[in-house]
Amino acid sequence: MTPAEAVAGDFRVPGDKSVSHRSLLLGGIAEGLTTVDGFLESEDCLATLRALRALGVTIERPQATALRIQGVGANGLLGVDFALDMGNAGTAMRLFMGLLAGQSFDSTLVGDSSLMRRPMERAAAPLRLMGARIETSEGQPPVVIRGTPELQAIDFHMPVVSAQVKSAVLLAALRAKGVTRVTEPAPTRDHTERMLAAFGIELLREGSTVSLSGGQRLHGTHIDVPADFSSAAFFIVAGCIARAGSLRLCGVGMNPTRTGLIDILRAMGADIEVTGLATRGPEPIADLLIRPSALHGIEVPRDLVPLAIDEFPVFFIAAACAKGRSTLRGAEELRLKESDRLAIMSQGLTALGVKHHLLPDGMQLAGYDDSAGPVFQGGRIDSHGDHRIAMSFAVASLRAAAEIEIIDTTNVATSFPNFTDLARGCGLRLRELRAQAAE
């Protein structure tokens, strides 16, 4: 990757990963046909699709990004005698735990080497309170689920801020006796709640608590998947740190539980215009116009951390280009993502000569003072198979003195298969050296 300072483009990034997973899971257990447009054809979502097909759901793909899901209804899933492979997808594994806990058959869930190291007790523990029988291996996958059709509702106050845990409990709650209540310590993405409502489920949202009564049936529907805000984030930061040009991103998902990065960047002085805000199905969308911006450092407000949780790798790139110090705290969850995103970003920033301190729960970056020269030196980055880290350092090339080589990039396809093409199309100088394995 060689330095390029200007960007230009007008395009749509692919569909939202969280919404695509959920459209499959809910469509699979609904009654009747669910059609999906804008589906994200990425490795993570295809893992969910393959697992549902294995469990007996017929899913046609008239186009790469369109689905026709013949839902099997609440009791129609069929058990399999092999482990279901969730690939790199934490969302798939935790949501399937909730979906499968109350079935009448047993299931085993596995994943790739990154997923096999991630914590699963956060979802297993509340499901056990509902009566589920779930085993993990010292907290990690494989996850063995002994199907228990008699789940009981719970009143659960989540100890971790996690949309996946909330969603796992809500999916199990559909099959539990009584009214399940989930209270979250801070708002997390609410795609599950919005989509359940679109499938005809009655759920009540009161402050930080969501409740639903078990035994309700889902009815097939149509889902329009918005462009993924988390994929757009790489281009939002690219547009801000570029020296010239502008980027227009169309149809981007603007669910307020996802757009924390816009608030953070605007507080840093970013020139981001939001136009055409509209609601398509359960999710709001808009077009974004991003122009080169004189960014200044920020102390990230704690309440924005869960609302930008997947965007911090690329936020660090923006903060490195900002004038003055930036600090992120309260983000220890980043250590439990596809990689330890604090440690691995810190290693990469060090390799490119960026002054910063790694904190137990965040990072402090010194920022950039001389608006004339490049922010990043050239160097070699190991993404440790983490898609968002690989893409973040690709964006850094806009302000680099020399070539940045990024290794272990195969997993970019887990969330953003055409990232390289779109990035090249808007001016980033990306070169693929060779096919690189994730492991």
The Cα–Cα gap between 395 and 119 comes to: 30
Residues 319-338 that bind ligand S3P (CB under 6 A): 333
**Beta carbon nearer to ligand S3P, 225 or 351:** 225
**Beta carbon nearer to ligand S3P, 136 or 397:** 136
The Cα–Cα gap between 1 and 88 comes to: 25
311 scored as a contact of ligand S3P (CB under 6 A): no
333 is written with which tokens?
A: 């969850």
**Beta carbon nearer to ligand S3P, 189 or 399:** 189
The Cα–Cα gap between 95 and 167 comes to: 6
Give the position of tokens 């007996």.
56
The stretch near ligand S3P (CB under 6 A) out of 57-65, 103-111, 158-166, 359-367 is: 158-166
CA proximity to 283, closest of 211, 208, 218, 192: 192
**Beta carbon nearer to ligand S3P, 157 or 424:** 157
**Beta carbon nearer to ligand S3P, 112 or 287:** 112
167 scored as a contact of ligand S3P (CB under 6 A): yes
162 scored as a contact of ligand S3P (CB under 6 A): yes
Torsion sign, CA atoms 394, 396, 400, 404:
negative
> HEC profile for 69-130?
EEEECCCCCCCCCCCEECCCCHHHHHHHHHHHHCCCCCEEEECCCCHHHCCCHHHHHHHHHC
Q: Which residues contact 134 (CB under 8 A, 6 or more apart)?
A: 97, 101, 124, 127, 128, 143, 144, 145, 146
Q: Rounded to the nearest whole angstrom, what is the least distance from the CB of residue 213 to ligand S3P in the complex?
A: 22
The stretch near ligand S3P (CB under 6 A) out of 134-142, 163-171, 199-207, 271-279 is: 163-171
Q: Rounded to the nearest whole angstrom, what is the least distance from the CB of residue 333 to ligand S3P in the complex?
A: 6
402 is written with which tokens?
A: 């020399």
Peptide bond connecting 3 to the previous residue in cis, omega within 30 degrees of 0: no
The Cα–Cα gap between 137 and 70 comes to: 34
Give the binding-site size for ligand S3P (rule: CB under 6 A): 11
**Beta carbon nearer to ligand S3P, 42 or 91:** 91
The single residue among 24, 176, 270, 309 that binds ligand S3P, judged by CB under 6 A, is: 309
Q: Rounded to the nearest whole angstrom, what is the least distance from the CB of residue 167 to ligand S3P in the complex?
A: 6
Active site residues: 310
164 scored as a contact of ligand S3P (CB under 6 A): yes
The Cα–Cα gap between 84 and 62 comes to: 25
The single residue among 188, 231, 397, 411 that binds ligand S3P, judged by CB under 6 A, is: 188
CA proximity to 153, closest of 96, 88, 102: 102
**Beta carbon nearer to ligand S3P, 181 or 189:** 189
The single residue among 163, 176, 318, 381 that binds ligand S3P, judged by CB under 6 A, is: 163
21 is written with which tokens?
A: 């997973």
**Beta carbon nearer to ligand S3P, 43 or 287:** 43
The stretch near ligand S3P (CB under 6 A) out of 125-133, 147-155, 157-165, 250-258 is: 157-165
Residues 202-261 that bind ligand S3P (CB under 6 A): none
18 scored as a contact of ligand S3P (CB under 6 A): yes
363 scored as a contact of ligand S3P (CB under 6 A): no
Q: Rounded to the nearest whole angstrom, what is the least distance from the CB of residue 194 to ligand S3P in the complex?
A: 12
Q: Which residues contact 278 (CB under 8 A, 6 or more apart)?
A: 284, 285, 286
Q: Rounded to the nearest whole angstrom, what is the least distance from the CB of residue 195 to ligand S3P in the complex?
A: 11
Other C-beta atoms closer than 10 Å to the C-beta of 433 total 10
The single residue among 88, 91, 383, 409 that binds ligand S3P, judged by CB under 6 A, is: 91
CA proximity to 355, closest of 389, 311, 396, 324: 324
End-to-end CA distance of the chain: 22
189 scored as a contact of ligand S3P (CB under 6 A): yes
364 scored as a contact of ligand S3P (CB under 6 A): no
Q: Which residues contact 408 (CB under 8 A, 6 or more apart)?
A: 382, 383, 384, 385, 390, 436, 437, 438
The stretch near ligand S3P (CB under 6 A) out of 161-169, 211-219, 221-229, 291-299 is: 161-169
Question: Residues interacting with ligand S3P, by CB under 6 A?
Answer: 18, 91, 162-164, 167, 188-189, 309-310, 333
